[in-house]
Homo-oligomer: A and B are copies of this chain.
Amino acid sequence: MRENPLKALLNKLKNNEISVEDALAALKKYYYEDIGYARVDHQRAMRSGIPEVIFGLGKTPEQVAGIASALWGKGAEVLVTKATQEQFTAVKNVIPSAVFHKTPRLITSSPLDLPGVSPAAAVLSAGTADIPVAEEAAVSLEFFRIGVIRIYDVGVAGLHRLIDRIEDISACKAVIAVAGMDGALPSVVAGMIDVPVIAVPTSIGYGASFSGAAALLTMLNSCAPGIGVVNIDNGFGAAALTHAIIRSGGR
């Protein structure tokens, strides 16, 4: 709608270049492709600035490959999140250049290669066990062509590890802070820098971590301002928000 396709269509109609029926049909096709189990959205990149990303959870390998193929066929790059090895095998059959990033369980339609892109975002993890989620964020950022600084295992129980890197972090346009257990990392980071902090709780922990709910609540209640929180383990969501922030700043 930012591109105002509706107005263009109305003008064509006004000028009698197309019929009312044609206009309605055009609007439908324009939007998406119906492949039965999915309505593949070819227009989303234009509309919301983020390519159609396939959420792998709960989809069969055939469904994932079918959607990926439809997108790839229109020239788009494809990203599958929370993917399985089986889904990758199916995608590889239809997109031979596809790559499986095992740690973050992401499939990209092509290898990621960002020569000469200077880092615009930092991805921090509180612990080693949080790395899969942090990598989901980092690789997704690279899929969006954003350079990434990775700084892992800098939890608040050993603050000096974090303080050492503050200068690098504060030079970025956004920081993604990934933490499970007590989830305190984003609060501490946001107290030290002036860039937006995207907080990602992880399900790492046990007992009263309640599968990440404890870290999530910590982050929502942070006494440091300037933090936006995403769902537990949602590294991709943090990357998408960071993408929006950086693109918004560049306009």
A contacts, CB < 8 Å to B: 1-2, 4, 7, 10-11, 13-14, 16, 20, 23, 27-28, 31-32, 36-39, 41, 43-44, 47-50, 53, 55, 57-59, 63, 67, 82, 126-131, 152-161, 163-164, 166-167, 170, 173-174, 180-184, 187-188, 190-198, 201, 203-234, 236-237, 240-241, 243-251
Given A10-B13, A184-B182, A250-B249, is A128 in contact with B218 using a C-beta cutoff of 8 Å?
no
- Set B16, B159, B182, B226: member contacting A159, Cβ < 8 A: B159
- Cα A206 to Cα B221 in complex, Å, equals 8
> Contact: B206 with A231, CB < 8 Å?
yes
> Contact: B173 with A223, CB < 8 Å?
no
Q: Which 9 A-B pairs have the closest CB atoms?
A: A249-B249, A228-B228, A207-B232, A49-B194, A58-B129, A225-B240, A214-B217, A184-B184, A157-B224
Given A208-B213, A245-B196, is A222 in contact with B129 using a C-beta cutoff of 8 Å?
no
For A229, the chain B residues whose CB sits under 8 A away are 220, 228-230
- Set B23, B173, B181, B225: member contacting A222, Cβ < 8 A: B181
For A43, the chain B residues whose CB sits under 8 A away are 160
For A82, the chain B residues whose CB sits under 8 A away are 206
- Say how many copies of this protein the assembly contains: 8
- Cα A117 to Cα B221 in complex, Å, equals 32
Given A208-B220, A220-B231, is A41 in contact with B161 using a C-beta cutoff of 8 Å?
yes
> Contact: A233 with B249, CB < 8 Å?
no
For A211, the chain B residues whose CB sits under 8 A away are 207
- Cα A67 to Cα B218 in complex, Å, equals 26
- Cα A13 to Cα B10 in complex, Å, equals 9
- Cα A216 to Cα B190 in complex, Å, equals 21
> Contact: A128 with B59, CB < 8 Å?
yes
